[in-house]
């Protein structure tokens, strides 16, 4: 039996070595050969083609690292990544049902009483012992598939944003840094022992600082904070957003709400898609969650590739977007011990055609 392979020690630079948490698809180590037998080269085959430039929008269920490796180089105009924030908590998807009840605690239309039932439909762990060992190879693949004039948006919070800035400087080059966007909101509980944390950070990097695409004319405008200081024409048109975006979260009873945890507002993603892509361009979201990026892309006439390993997220997206699900087979996917396996019925599901959005 061959000797076990050594595991490389983690590097201090997050992106200096594309370490992966699972074995590669083609492993040259052969446990069935005696130690004296020479190793035989295993033929390498190209990954099966799951995306084509003129194909339909794609919703992929499986490990996004494996899925990214199936995409050709320089094919995506915009890559938006909203990975787990490494909060150390279990994120839950909740559903609230209201039922008429004369003894209910909630009053509705014309004094009707209701009771509310809150159910936890799904959850995932947002804890990684080696967060950058998980994220770094996915950022490298995102950089590879980005077009020369393309843009990457990495959405994180205060826990990892400072590490991400250093890592992306190393991957793209500091000259490719475009913006640090602050998405500010004012909702939820507030600490009394420190300044309440009510913002996320979105780091923006371009593939080529000389050729990147950015269309400020297509972006939604905001009201002036002091409209009396500008002309009436300017006040009526509004101003271009700065790098601080005030936008409410998806409220629990809002029309956008899918019930998926950490769902992002459609307005935030529409602004990103409008600024950094053209009609007909391809937009990629490797951590697609509730499918907001794909929904924004569809609204604005873009094409989209959405990926997620969570079967509940895939179901939410399929229902929301009316899209069929493509599941990576065992031969295509890289096993990941941190990824929950899909139920058998999900891997077999393939709808015959798009369903109307709900």
Q: Note the pLDDT tens digit of each residue in 286-342.
A: 999 999 999 999 999 999 999 999 999 999 999 999 999 999 875 454 333 333 333
Assess whether pLDDT exceeds 90 at residue 23: no
Beta strands 326-327; 113-125: pairing state = unpaired
Domain boundaries along the sequence of the chain: 58-85+127-348
Confidence bin at 103 (pLDDT 50/70/90): low
CA 3 centroid distance within chain = 39
How much of the chain is in helix, strand and coil states, percent to nearest 5? 25, 20, 55
Q: Which helix (H) or strand (E) holds 246?
A: strand 244-246
**The whole model's pTM is what?**
0.70
Give the pLDDT confidence of 198-252 residue by residue, as tens digits: 999 999 999 999 999 999 999 999 999 999 999 999 999 999 999 999 998 887 7
Residue 101: what pLDDT? 63
- Residues 82 and 287: beta-carbon distance below 8 Å: yes
Give the pLDDT confidence of 140-180 residue by residue, as tens digits: 999 999 999 999 999 998 888 999 999 999 999 999 999 99
Give residue for tokens 């409410």: 248
- Residues 156 and 203: beta-carbon distance below 8 Å: yes
Query: 3-class DSSP state for residue 199?
Result: strand
Q: How many CB atoms lie within 10 A of CB 318?
A: 21
Specify which residues 180 forms β-bridges with. Answer: 203
Residues near 221 by Cβ (< 8 Å), separated by ≥ 6? 237, 238, 239, 240, 241
In the chain, pLDDT over 90 holds for what percent of residues? 53
Q: What is the Cβ-side half-sphere exposure of residue 181, based on CA atoms within 13 angstroms?
A: 21
315's tokens: 């179901």
Give residue for tokens 């492993």: 27
Beta strands 146-156; 76-81: pairing state = parallel
- Residues 148 and 207: beta-carbon distance below 8 Å: yes
Residue 187: what pLDDT? 74
What is the rounded CA–CA span in Å between residue 304 and residue 59?
A: 8
| DSSP secondary structure of 138-158 | HHHHHHHHEEEEEEEEEEE-T
Q: What mean pLDDT is predicted for residues 269-277?
A: 98
Confidence bin at 130 (pLDDT 50/70/90): confident
Q: Of the ranges 25-29, 103-107, 184-188, which one carries the lowest mean pLDDT score?
A: 25-29
Assess whether pLDDT exceeds 50 at residue 119: no
What is the rounded CA–CA span in Å between residue 43 and residue 226?
A: 67
Q: Check residues 160 and 276 and name the one with the higher pLDDT.
A: 276
Q: Which helix (H) or strand (E) holds 162?
A: helix 161-172
CATH H-level, domain 58-85+127-348: superfamily: Vaccinia Virus protein VP39 (3.40.50.150)
Specify which residues 61 forms β-bridges with. Answer: 308, 327
Assess whether pLDDT exceeds 70 at residue 94: no
């Amino acid at each position: 039996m061959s000797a076990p392979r050594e595991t490389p020690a983690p590097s201090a630079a997050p992106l200096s070595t594309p370490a992966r948490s699972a074995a590669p698809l083609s492993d040259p180590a052969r446990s069935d050969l005696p130690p004296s037998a020479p190793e035989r080269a295993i033929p390498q085959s190209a990954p099966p083609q799951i995306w084509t430039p003129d194909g339909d929008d794609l919703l992929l269920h499986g490990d996004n690292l494996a899925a990214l490796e199936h995409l050709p180089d320089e094919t995506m105009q915009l890559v938006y990544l909203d990975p787990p924030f490494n909060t150390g908590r279990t994120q839950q998807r909740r559903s609230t049902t209201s039922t008429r009840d004369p003894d209910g605690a909630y009053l509705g239309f014309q004094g009707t009483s209701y009771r509310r039932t809150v159910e936890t439909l799904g959850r995932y762990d947002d804890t990684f012992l080696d967060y950058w060992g998980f994220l770094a190879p996915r950022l490298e693949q995102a950089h590879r598939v980005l077009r020369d004039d393309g843009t990457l948006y990495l959405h994180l919070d205060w826990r990892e944003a400072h590490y991400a800035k250093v890592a992306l400087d190393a991957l793209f080059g500091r000259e490719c840094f475009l913006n640090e966007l602050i998405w500010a909101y004012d909702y939820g509980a507030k600490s009394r022992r420190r300044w309440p944390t009510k913002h996320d950070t979105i780091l923006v990097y371009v593939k080529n600082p000389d050729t990147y695409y950015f269309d400020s004319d297509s972006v939604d405008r905001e009201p002036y904070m002091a409209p009396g200081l500008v002309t009436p024409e300017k006040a009526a048109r509004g101003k271009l957003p700065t790098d601080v975006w005030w936008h409410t979260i998806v409220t629990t009873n809002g029309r956008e709400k899918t019930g998926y945890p950490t769902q992002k507002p459609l307005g935030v993603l529409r602004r990103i898609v409008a600024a950094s892509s053209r009609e007909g361009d391809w937009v990629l979201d490797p951590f697609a969650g509730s499918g907001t990026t794909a929904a924004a892309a569809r609204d604005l006439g873009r094409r989209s590739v959405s990926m997620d390993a969570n079967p509940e997220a895939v179901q939410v997206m399929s229902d929301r977007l009316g899209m069929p699900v493509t599941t990576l087979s065992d031969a295509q996917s890289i096993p990941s011990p941190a990824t929950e396996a899909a139920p058998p019925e999900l891997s077999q599901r393939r709808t015959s055609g798009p369903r109307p959005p709900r």
